[in-house]
Structure 1
C-alpha cells in the first residue's frame, strides 16, 4: 500500500465521525436532567431536540464549507473582505434560525431574550469556525510538507545519480591512462592489470547502482584500484595500505571513498620528492574511520588537467546529501602532507 492506513479515506472518515459524535454529545452529557420539567414540557423538549438536529446539520455543513470552499478560494487568494462577508452571512443565518425557532415555535412558553441568544449562537459558531480553519490549514500544511518531501527525495535521487555518473568517467579516465602507460612499456603486468580492470568495471556497472553495498566489497574495490596504481608507478611511489573491513554487516554507499584515493594519486605523484601515499580504513562498532594522506609539492609546476578536484567536490556533496550530520570530514595541508580523514556513522 502506498499510504499508511491512517491516511486512507475510510480512516479519515471514521475520525471525523467520532469527532462529531463527541462534540454533539457534550451538551447531553453535561446537561442536568429534570424529569418533572420534561414530563410537563414534553412538546417543548421534542421541539428542542428537532431544532438541535437541524443545528447540528447546519454546523457540519458550515465546517466543511469553510474548510473546503471558503479558505481555499478566499483566504489563500487573499480575498479577506469577501471571506468576512460570507462568514457574517452564515452567522446571520444561524442567528435568524435560532430567532425564528424561539419566536415562532416557543413564543407561547417564554419571551425571547436576544442577548443570551446572540452570545450562545456566537460561541457555537466561533468554535466551529476556529476548528474548521485550524483543521484545513493543518491538513494543507501536512499535504504540502509531504509533497515537498517527495519532491526533495526525487531531486535527491536525481542529484545523487548525476554525482555518481561524474565519478565513474573521472575514475575510468585515470585507469585507462594507467593501461596506456603499461602498454607502452610492454609490461608483463598488463594482463593481470586488465583482469583487475574488468573486475572494477563489473563493480561499477552492476553493483554501484545499488543504494548501498557491503563495506567489504568497497574495500576490495579500493584495493584493486590501488594495486593498479602500484603497478603503474612501481618504486617511484611508496604506498602503504591498511584496509580492515572484515565486518560484512556494515554497508556503505558505493564509490564513496574512491575519490579520496584518486585525488592522492593524482596530486601525490609526478614531480614529488619521496612520493608516498598512505591509505587506512578501519571500523569500530557503528563507525568507519578512513584516512588518506599523500606527499605534495605546492610549488610544483606540473600542469593538472581540467578535471582535477571533481572527485573531492562530488564526495563532499554526497556526504552532505546522504549522511547529513552523521559524518566528520577533515581536509588539511600539514607541512609536506595533504591529509584527508573521514569518520562515518554506519548505523
Structure 2
C-alpha cells in the first residue's frame, strides 16, 4: 500500500509520515480485535460460523472506514481517479491480510495454550491421583494394633519390642518413604515383612506367609515407586483369607536378573473375604497399572490370574534400566 501511494505521488513527505504511522496504528487495532476478541470468543469455543461472519465484517468495515478516513484526511481519492481500482485493491488486500494473519496467530496461540494446559492438567491430575492413592495407615487398625501391643506388654511378653519395631518400620514407610518418587527395593521388601509381622500380631498366631526375596542379590541402587510391590502383597493379604480361614496361604518370591525384576505372588482365595482390614490401604490394581505405565511404559508385564486350584497368581516383570 505504501509503495502504491509513493509510486503514484499521492502524498508529500510530511503527509506520508503521518499516513504510515496512522496506517500502522489503525491496523494494530484491527489485529487486536481479531486476535484478542474474535478468536477467543468464537473460534476457541467452536462457534466457527460466527467467527467467519465476524471476521468478514471486521474486514469490510475496516476497509470501508479506511477509504472514508483517507479521503477526508489525506484527500487520496481526489488524486486517484485513474488508479482508483488499484487503490481499492490495495486497501482490500491489506485489510484481508491483517485479518487473516491475526486469525492465524490467534488460533495457533490458543491451540498451543490448550495443548499445554491439557498436558499440565493431565500431569497435575496424575500426580494428584497418585498422591491421594499413596500408602496410608488405617487409624482403626493402628489403634487395634497398639491395643494388642499394650496387652502383650502387660504380661511382659518378649514379643513386645519386636511388635513395636515392626509397627515403627511400617509407620516410617507410610510417613516418609511413600512421599518419595522412588525408594530402594530393600525398603519395599522390608515394608512387606513389617506388614506381615503386624498382621500376625493382629491374629496373635503364625500365618502361612512365606517369602523368597533373595535380598542378598538385590543391588542397593535398584529403585521402584513406593507402594508398587507392597500393594500387590497387600491385595494378597486382603483377598487370601489369611488369618481367618484354615488352609489360607501367601507365597512371595522375587528374582533379579541384572536389571530384570520378577516379582511373583501366589495366594489362596478367601471364601468369606469382605474387605478385610490389613491396616495398609494400597493403590488398587487399576492404579498399579497406571503407575507402571507412568514409570515403565513398554518395559513391564503384569499378570493377574485366578487359578483352577482356587489360588490367585500375580506376576510382575519390570525392566529397571
Q: Report the TM-score, using the length of structure 1 for normalisation.
A: 0.67
Pairwise mapping of residues 170-181 of structure 1 onto structure 2 (< 5 A)?
172=141, 176=145
1:150 Cα deviation from its structure 2 partner: 4.1
Per-residue deviation, residues 266-301 of structure 1 (Å, max 9, x unmatched): 40635454845133253643x54322112x257x4x
Distance (whole Å) between structure 1 residues aligned to residue 59 and residue 10 of structure 2: 35
Q: Given the superposition, is the C-alpha separation of residues 315 and 126 from structure 1 closer, same or farther in structure 2, using an over 3 Å criterion?
A: same
- Change in Cα spacing, 1:247 to 1:346, as seen in structure 2 (3 Å) is same
- The equivalent residue for 2:273 is 304
Partner of 2:317: 343
The structure-2 alpha-carbon separation of the partners of 1:93 and 1:281, relative to structure 1 and needing over 3 Å to count, comes to farther
Instruction: Answer 1 or 2: which has greater helix percent.
Output: 1
Please list the CA deviations of residues 232-276 of structure 1 after superposition, one character each: whole Å capped at 9, or x if unmatched.
653x62613215473333433222221221232340635454845
- Structure 1 CA distance for aligned equivalents of residues 165 and 82 of structure 2: 99
Contact 1:265 1:277 in 2 (8 A): no
Q: How does 1:319-338 map to 2 (within 5 A)?
A: 319-320=289-290, 323-324=293-294, 326=297, 327-336=300-309, 337-338=311-312
Q: Is residue 170–residue 307 contact of structure 1 (8 Å, CA) maintained in 2?
A: no
Match of 1:277 in 2: 251
Alignment of 1:140-151 (within 5 A): 140-151=110-121
SS of residue in 1 equivalent to 2:228: coil
Whether the aligned pair in 2 keeps the contact of 1:282 and 1:288 (CA below 8 Å) is: yes
Q: Which residue of 2 aligns with 1:126?
A: 96
Contact 1:63 1:129 in 2 (8 A): yes
Pairwise CA distance, 1:179: 5.1
- Equivalent of 1:254 in 223, 226, 233: 226
1:295-325 residue CA offsets vs partner (Å, 9 max, x unmatched): x257x4xx22335799576253254157347
TM-score by length of 2: 0.71
1:71-117: per-residue Cα shift (whole Å, max 9, x none)?
Answer: 4456668555566434421121234456668864882xx64333332
Q: Work out the CA distance in 1 between the residues paired with 2:94 and 2:316.
A: 61
**Higher mean displacement: 69-78 or 192-201:** 69-78
Distance in 1 of aligned mates of 2:315 and 2:152: 35
Q: Paired residue for 1:21?
A: none
Task: Say if 2:213 is the partner of 1:242.
Answer: yes
Supply the distance in 1 between the matched residues of 2:134 and 2:192 (Cα, whole angstroms): 16
Q: Unpaired runs of 5+ in structure 1?
A: 1-23, 32-36
Instruction: Tell me which of the two structures has the higher relative contact order, counting C-alpha pairs closer than 8 angstroms and 6 or more residues apart.
Output: 2
1:291 matched to 2:264: yes
User: Hey, what does 1:7 align to over in structure 2?
Assistant: none
Aligned to 1:66: 34
- Name the CA shift for 1:70/1:116 in 2 (closer, same or farther; >3 Å): same
Tell me, yes or no, if the aligned pair for 1:178 and 1:228 is still in contact at 8 Å. no
CA distance in 2, matches of 1:125, 1:194: 80
Quote the Cα distance in structure 1 between the aligned partners of 2:68 and 2:317: 71
Please name the residue that 2:183 is paired with: 213
SS in 2 for 1:211: coil
Could you tell me how far apart the structure 1 residues matched to 2:146 and 2:266 are?
A: 22
Contact 2:170/2:191 (CA < 8 Å) preserved in 1?
Answer: yes
For 1:297 and 1:177, the matched residues in 2 are separated by 29
Q: What is the distance in 1 between the residues matched to 2:76 and 2:11?
A: 14
Q: 1:289 to 1:71 in 2, by over 3 A?
A: same
